[in-house]
Amino acid sequence: MPITITILYAAEPDLKFDLDHFMDHHVPRVLKEFGPFGLKAFRVVQLRGSPFQPGTSQDFMFQIQQDWDTLADFQRGSEAVGEELGKHVATFSNKYPLVMYGDILKEHHL
């Protein structure tokens, strides 16, 4: 079953996140390292809060999603290169993210 990995950086007052370094250095590294293990899609979202309640505080600043054919594919990639990619987080952020996964039940692109 296809899955998505969701990586969330909390909107904490002391969060330091170098978006340029993340986009220019970490993202290409993730794509290169995870690609051979079956990474299917990758997106980076800068969260802005609720569209229904503008101006309210938000819990998270950045959301990164990775789509994979199976959890086993992600786990194989993580076993092979995950530790090194995890160490690289310190080059662009002072916080480690919340990481979750879920089954993709339906997807539709217009």
Domains of the chain, first to last: 3-48+57-103 (3.30.70.100)
Q: What is the pTM of this model?
A: 0.91
Q: What pLDDT shows up at residue 85?
A: 94
CA neighbor of 44 nearest in space, from 97, 107, 81: 97
Rounded Cα–Cα distance for residues 59 and 67 (Å): 23
Q: What pLDDT shows up at residue 56?
A: 80
Q: How confident is the model at residue 20 (pLDDT cuts 50, 70, 90)?
A: very high
- pLDDT of 54 > 90? The answer is no
Average pLDDT, integer, range 18-47: 97
Rounded Cα–Cα distance for residues 2 and 99 (Å): 17
